[in-house]
Structure 1
Amino acid sequence: MREALARFRLLVLTVRRPPERVRRLLTWWDGRVELVLLDVAVAAFAIWFTLASGDPADPHPPLHLPAVLVSCAALLVRRRWPVPVLALAAAAMAADATLLPLTVGLYSVAARFGLGWITGVAALGTVLVVLVPHLQRDYQSPMVLAMFLGLFIVGPALAGLWMRQRADLLAVLRDRAEEAERTRTLLADQAVFAERRRIAREMHDVVAHRVTAVALQAGALSIQAPDERTAQTAETIRSVSATALEELRGILRVLRDEAPQAGLTPVRNGTDVLASVDELVEDVTATGARVELQLPDPAPAIAGEVGRAVYRVVQESLTNAGKHAPHAAVEVRLATADDRLDLTVTNQLTPRSSDVPGSGYGLVGMRERVELAGGELHTGPTGDGRFRVSARFPVTATPAQEAT
């Protein structure tokens, strides 16, 4: 029982959502299998009703059976060519066919063209086809004739007009829903853009001002330093502050949807990413930190998103090591294996940390950036008193591999 029910559900799903290839074959029926089945059922019922109606003893014209089969089978294409189907059903009336194909054809014309001259001409022609033989026989009362016309002519025409009006109303409602969705999306984009501009203003007014003040004070200290080591440290602070201002300027351009200028960010594509990491390590080392860097040889070709992620992970890891384990040795290792790049940053854990406050979103930001680049990130303490940040990225072939 369950297997039969599952098969029935699968059949229903197949009928309601046919494959794309089947939908292309059913363009006349709007790609819906149920409409095809409905038209097949209507054509089969029309053939059965026409052949089963009437007196078997009453002789039919020689072309009665072919006319019935052709006019009823034409109902399969009534959605595509309703007017030729109606004309064919009217011609079949001369071979003593029933009114059912003619009625379905008139309904199809009204449903396809709506209230217009085509529907009016089709309805008038159908009335003439129906009335002329009955008026010649002169055995129908006016009341019966009116009921006959209402049942087989007026009723199907009104039903077709109603279906056309319903389809037009659904199309209008669908367009309004799509327009409302586009308007909602536009308003959401405008709200996001306004919020981005607000954040850009706050970053410019607060962060940029503070970093600029640090750079200026460090520059003044490097000039008036009492000894060479203090001057070197102040120059390092000034250089890092200037780099931070350049990066902040690039972020502000992104927030304001402005095209970034070349050379604003130290993170570059290709092997220059590793050079940027080397410069970053040199800047951190100049502040007195102990950092050991190991780069792969030959250097891999790193895509832009992966390169930025590598740079930011190293930057954030060195920052965290300086805040949570000051003066501890840090090891930065980049290695390639097959089609991946492995990045590992390890530092010794210390009982004391610096008083520099953090945002609390460093590891979260690293994980998000690594995942956006298609990589994996693992962080946490190891068993030998160390803290490790391990990231793995997909990379392209190395220059040596491309040469082969």
Structure 2
Amino acid sequence: MSTGRALWGRVPPWAVDGGLVVLAVLDAWVNLYGEGTPLVWACVALGSTALFLRRRFPLAVFLLTLPMTLFMDVAVAPITALYTLAASTRNRPMLAGCALLNAGVDTLVWPLSDAFDGDRTWTLVQFVYTLATAVAPVLFGQLVQARRDVARQLVEVEEAREHERALHAQTVLARERAQLAREMHDVVSHQVSLIAVQAGALQVAAKDADAREAARTIRTLSANTLDELRHMVTLLRASGGKATELTPQPTLADLRQLIANSGIETTLVGELPIGISTTAQRTVYRTVQEALTNVRKHAPGARAEVRLWHDAHHFGVTVTNTAPTRPSVALPSARHGLIGLKERAELLDGTLTAESTPQGGYTIELRAPARSD
């Protein structure tokens, strides 16, 4: 069936209309048996050739087929015109009127004076029959129109689904980029900054010139790497936006190890409530990690205190460091770490504050409502 439909679709419209004109003329010729007045043949020529314009002026073409219907019992021209009109309009009252008009004209006999001389019952039966004949192309045309509407709607639905799938893919990609940016800053930058700090300390303490040069090279490369990471994180954040956690991350169980590896004299006090969510644990961990990274960058020689706390309504962590005791190593920074921590705090419906202390140090505090656990 699909092959036949494809072949039919390849036939040009003018060829179809030409074939219909020929059939309409043959239909009239058979009914007239080759005879007829010039007026009748003029009506046949007008109604038949008008089928060439049925797609552009369906109502006018239908009206032009009525005169030939009055003179003879033809079917091709009026049925074709009715079908074309029904397939191109949604005005159903007009279609009903056209079907009644076609049935009425087809029932009349020319001359009109002879139309009501015969049996009235037979005339009524003939009218009902011709009306049923006229209704058939109207219903078929409406069915074709409905099929076109359904096909168009299916195309629109498929386009909408494709659009939704594209948006979903973009959303997933944005989340992955945001997560990657966060991990690059929280993990890679953390380690590289530690290398830079340790290299700087080695450069100051080393007595051998070659060792100092090697330490200087390591510190320079680490600083350049941090700068490149800062640009990459900026690009990823620009296309990522906010994101939820997509991969497992450290929790409170890794907090002591983080402090031990920080290279900073740090004390850990307090505790968090039992049973807080893994998301909250990761947020606390990353807050401490970022705070200690900032201490290494901007407050060399400072001591730090990590205080875990909770009360009836909130829980959180406060990281406070003392003033630096020696000049800091100049390292690139775009403050993406604090931005990421604020995003994590928002996921818990909490807040993050960061400010200087009167003693010249710095404090970062995460506060989240207990209900978010």
Q: Report TM bin, short chain.
A: 0.5 to 0.7
CA distance in 1, matches of 2:96, 2:8: 36
CA distance in 2, matches of 1:236, 1:118: 89
Provide the residue aligned with 1:110 in structure 2: 86
CA distance in 2, matches of 1:124, 1:141: 14
For residues 282-317 of structure 1, the C-alpha deviation after alignment (integer angstroms, 9 at most, x for no partner) is xxxxxxxxxxxxxxxxxxxxxxxxxxxxxxxxxxxx
Q: Please say if 1:210 is aligned against 2:191.
A: yes
Q: Please say if 1:119 is aligned against 2:88.
A: no
Greater Rg by CA: 2
Q: Secondary structure at the match of 1:173?
A: helix
With over 3 angstroms needed to count, the CA separation of the structure-2 counterparts of 1:69 and 1:225, relative to structure 1, is farther
For residues 343-402 of structure 1, the C-alpha deviation after alignment (integer angstroms, 9 at most, x for no partner) is xxxxxxxxxxxxxxxxxxxxxxxxxxxxxxxxxxxxxxxxxxxxxxxxxxxxxxxxxxxx
- Verify the 8 A CA contact 1:110 1:161 in the aligned structure 2: yes
Matches within 5 A, 1:313-332: none
Correspondent of 1:167 among 127, 148, 153: 148
* Equivalent position amino acid for 1:234 in 2: A
- Verify the 8 A CA contact 1:221 1:234 in the aligned structure 2: yes
CA distance in 2, matches of 1:35, 1:111: 15
Query: How far did residue 242 of structure 1 move?
Result: 2.0
Provide the residue aligned with 2:118 in structure 1: 138
Provide the residue aligned with 1:231 in structure 2: 212
Aligned positions, number: 231
CA distance in 1, matches of 2:215, 2:127: 107
For residues 30-82 of structure 1, the C-alpha deviation after alignment (integer angstroms, 9 at most, x for no partner) is xx6554443333233222222233333xx412144443334223323322221
Identity %: 29
CA distance in 2, matches of 1:98, 1:15: 26
* Equivalent position amino acid for 2:212 in 1: A
Q: Please say if 1:181 is aligned against 2:159.
A: no
CA distance in 2, matches of 1:242, 1:43: 85
CA RMSD of aligned residues (A): 3.1
CA distance in 1, matches of 2:19, 2:228: 70
CA distance in 1, matches of 2:106, 2:238: 70
Query: How far did residue 144 of structure 1 move?
Result: 4.3
CA distance in 1, matches of 2:221, 2:38: 101
Query: How far did residue 96 of structure 1 move?
Result: 4.9
Q: Please say if 1:44 is aligned against 2:50.
A: no
With over 3 angstroms needed to count, the CA separation of the structure-2 counterparts of 1:148 and 1:121, relative to structure 1, is closer
Which structure would you say has the larger RCO, counting Cα contacts within 8 Å and 6 or more residues apart? 2
* Equivalent position amino acid for 2:84 in 1: S
Provide the residue aligned with 1:79 in structure 2: 55
With over 3 angstroms needed to count, the CA separation of the structure-2 counterparts of 1:231 and 1:71, relative to structure 1, is farther
Query: How far did residue 155 of structure 1 move?
Result: 0.7
With over 3 angstroms needed to count, the CA separation of the structure-2 counterparts of 1:52 and 1:87, relative to structure 1, is same
Q: Secondary structure at the match of 2:140?
A: helix
CA distance in 1, matches of 2:151, 2:6: 24
CA distance in 1, matches of 2:6, 2:89: 32
Q: Secondary structure at the match of 2:109?
A: helix
With over 3 angstroms needed to count, the CA separation of the structure-2 counterparts of 1:123 and 1:206, relative to structure 1, is same
Query: How far did residue 255 of structure 1 move?
Result: 2.4
Provide the residue aligned with 2:235 in structure 1: 254
Listed as ranges, the gaps of 5+ residues in structure 1 are 1-8, 17-31, 260-404
* Equivalent position amino acid for 2:180 in 1: I
CA distance in 2, matches of 1:208, 1:117: 75
CA distance in 1, matches of 2:76, 2:130: 12
* Equivalent position amino acid for 1:138 in 2: G
- Verify the 8 A CA contact 1:107 1:160 in the aligned structure 2: yes
- Verify the 8 A CA contact 1:109 1:122 in the aligned structure 2: no
Matches within 5 A, 1:1-400: 33-56=11-34, 59-93=35-69, 96=72, 98-133=74-109, 135-136=115-116, 138=118, 140=122, 142-151=124-133, 153-258=134-239
- Verify the 8 A CA contact 1:72 1:101 in the aligned structure 2: yes
- Verify the 8 A CA contact 1:50 1:98 in the aligned structure 2: yes
- Verify the 8 A CA contact 2:86 2:141 in the aligned structure 1: yes
Query: How far did residue 115 of structure 1 move?
Result: 4.8
With over 3 angstroms needed to count, the CA separation of the structure-2 counterparts of 1:252 and 1:228, relative to structure 1, is same
TM-score, normalised by the number of residues in structure 1: 0.50
Q: Secondary structure at the match of 1:60?
A: coil
- Verify the 8 A CA contact 1:114 1:165 in the aligned structure 2: no
Q: Secondary structure at the match of 2:225?
A: helix
- Verify the 8 A CA contact 1:222 1:231 in the aligned structure 2: yes
Listed as ranges, the gaps of 5+ residues in structure 2 are 241-373
